[in-house]
Amino acid sequence: MKDKPVLLPVGGSFEIEYVNTEGIQSRRVIDVRKFVANLSDGYVQAFCHERKMVRTFKYQSIMGLVDLETGEVVEPSLFRRRLQERYEEAPERQMDFFIREMKPIVDVLVYIAYCDGRYAPSEQRYIAQWLTDKSEMGDDFLAYSLGVMKSWAVPDSMDFSFAIRAINQRFPEWREAVLEYARGVAKADRKVTAEETDHLAKLERLFGI
């Protein structure tokens, strides 16, 4: 089974020689937004100056590459490595590490938000604000955190139960705070539904509070 692409945020302006699916070669200036980090046959998502829109460019279709920030000619086969090195130096990486560490808590909050069948923008923003505050990365990262929350895979009931167990084992001192955050998520859209009330009660019971 093929691995799913892992998209990571990164910046950088490049000039590329690109061959499209019809075999037509062109030269483009692109501003990279995200790149697939784990697949050699992956791609970058980048703003194309010629088309004036964000497009996808496959690594294997890039025949020539110049880093416009340094003027360096880069071997196309090394493009993914170059972007990975840039990501390693970016502050977004620190936020990604924090979010991964907090995954059980985020799963609980997202599940509470979505258990009524609707993941409201106000709920997404509430969770993103929590991540930004707890990471101590500063409000400049709120938009980034919000982007992560918009694309977060919605957990199912098994994920919810697993996340609760993980919090009990790894973050027992956070249980009361997580319950309070979950209540805040439920209230974020100004309407606490019966589904949210039921799952908040389950969360409180399994936390032993």
| pLDDT, tens only, 65-124 | 999 989 999 999 999 999 999 888 888 888 888 998 999 999 999 999 999 999 999 999
pLDDT at 94: 83
pLDDT at 47: 95
**In DSSP terms, which residues pair with 70 in a beta bridge?**
none
Question: What is the amino acid identity at position 121?
Answer: P
CA dihedral 112, 115, 120, 122 (to 10 degrees): -20
How many CA atoms lie within 13 Å of 81's alpha carbon, on the beta-carbon side?
A: 5
pLDDT at 2: 66
The torsion angles phi and psi of 108, rounded to 5 degrees, stand at -65, -45
Residues of the chain with pLDDT under 70: 1-2
pLDDT at 139: 85
Residues 6+ apart with CB under 8 A from 79: 44, 59, 62, 65
